[in-house]
Amino acid sequence: MVTEQRAWNIRTDEEIKQFIARSKEKLTFLRNNESLEKKAELFKSLGDATRLKIVGMLLISDLCMCEIVSGLQLPQSTISHHLKILERGGVIHSRKDGKFTVYTLSTPLNCLSTTPHE
């Protein structure tokens, strides 16, 4: 059975303006450039497999740099780079504990939990 495809109807500028207004209602961070930039940093910080592995480790426990390096078997400079990006994105924060810097998740990341359709 062959279904016919309808031609796409280009929307008017006014309709597109309405879409933008409605998107700002649904995603409130789109209303403010500062909020938008913060959200972009969050998404950027989660956009790498190594950083997601670090987040996964921190879901289990707070860890120091040497523990993360040991767990991922990557150079300290690489881990340090990824930790800085995660901090900038607001995903993690660090604290000094003696000579160690300990990393922890800033907020619960429920969106990363296992779902049935994985």
Q: Which domains does the chain have, with CATH numbers?
A: 9-45 (no CATH), 48-118 (1.10.10.10)
Residues 36-85 have pLDDT tens digits of 998 898 899 999 999 999 999 999 999 999 999 999 999 999 999 999 99
Buried b vs exposed e over 45-78: b needs ≥16 C-beta within 10 Å?
A: bbeeeebbebbebbeeeebbbeebbeeeebeeee
Q: Are 62 and 107 in contact (CB under 8 A)?
A: no
Percent of the chain at pLDDT above 90? 69
Residue 116 above 50 pLDDT?
A: no
pTM for this one? 0.74
Of all helices (H) and strands (E), which one includes residue 29? none
Distance CA 82, CA 46 (A): 10
Nearby residues of 78 by Cβ (< 8 Å), 6 or more positions away: 50
SS3 93: strand
Residue 104 above 70 pLDDT?
A: yes
Note the pLDDT of residue 15.
Answer: 95
How distant, in Å, are the alpha carbons of 11, 20, 21, 29 from that of 16?
7, 6, 9, 19
Residues 3-34 have pLDDT tens digits of 778 889 999 999 999 999 999 999 998 999 99
Q: Are 38 and 90 in contact (CB under 8 A)?
A: yes
Note the pLDDT of residue 6.
Answer: 83
